[in-house]
Amino acid sequence: MPRNSLPRPRRSLAACPGPAVPATRKGSREAAIVRISILASSSAGNATFVRSRNTRILIDAGLSRKATLERLRSIGEDPGALDAILLTHEHSDHISGLGVLLRNFRDRKVPVYATPLTAAAIEWDDCEPDLREFQAGSRFTIGDITVQSFTIPHDAADPVGFRFEIGTCKLGLVTDLGYIPESVKYHLRDVDFLLLEANHDIEMLKVGPYPWQVKQRVMSRKGHLSNDRVAEFIARDLAATIRTLVLGHLSEHNNHPEIVRLAAAEALEQRGLSARLVVAEPRQQTEPFEFD
């Protein structure tokens, strides 16, 4: 399974609290318009784009520079307008493209938000990022987006999920976790949009090509979510406010989009929820999702 691939910065890491950019760009602030697109979600690479009216954020940078720029442009977004990059953890499928992407911004440094333990676990080489450290569980703002971080159970240095509040819209992003503890459920209790991991079908994993040691890791409480656990969460705990549910980080060897779709659709029906269900297939970009 992927690990960190970007040793530690050669300078000390300093926390830089507060907004990375002004709350507005041009003109008066208007009602927030929210846009989110999953550029990729799988062990081959992860990156998600979130935009308010005035702020543009990339969560994770696990794609090549070329793929990241192309996928942003394909949805009409200017890669040069990014205000921040947030990191969930240091595994290579979440940060492998970070260094070269940061070097793309020749005239300015795009702030990188990470916990101190995550930042220290990344091999920055000759890249000197503008690091804005935050503690897992802290709440902070980037432009007009409020970010709530929360700890998730995964075998990384200090992995986190995120909840974004933009006006009245609430977005949740949580992948790479072995189970869903009550603390995570709390932060997802009233979201309008949720990107949630549905990594593997347990029977496919057991008979699949991975070595037994890797299978044990994936199935552990610090591994990845199975379809069964996701369906259980949907049927019991998914927010009644949910408008769009995206299931991602599917294993290419131990899962199939239609298995995920069927299990999730049955759980939504059992719960009586009419949310739109989307399965983010490995290596594929989703359409942009927009909210008023």
* Domain ranges across the chain: 34-285
Give the per-residue pLDDT at 292: 85
pLDDT of residue 15: 34
Is residue 243 within 8 A of residue 291, CB to CB? The reply is: yes
- CA–CA dist 209, 200 (Å, integer): 13
Q: Which amino acid is at 4?
A: N
Place of tokens 């830089």: 16
Task: Count CB neighbours of 20 within 10 A.
Answer: 21
pLDDT value for 10: 33
Strand order in the sheet with 169-174: 139-142, 145-151, 160-166, 169-174, 193-197, 244-248, 276-279
Residuewise pLDDT in 10s, the chain (292 residues): 444 544 333 333 333 333 333 333 333 344 448 999 999 999 999 999 999 999 999 999 999 999 999 999 999 999 999 999 999 999 999 999 999 999 888 788 999 999 999 999 999 988 889 999 999 999 999 999 999 999 999 999 999 999 999 999 999 999 999 999 999 999 999 999 999 999 999 999 999 999 999 999 999 999 999 999 999 999 999 999 999 999 999 999 999 999 999 999 999 999 999 999 999 999 999 999 999 8
Q: Which CATH architecture has domain 34-285?
A: 4-Layer Sandwich (3.60)
247 touches 264 (CB < 8 A): yes
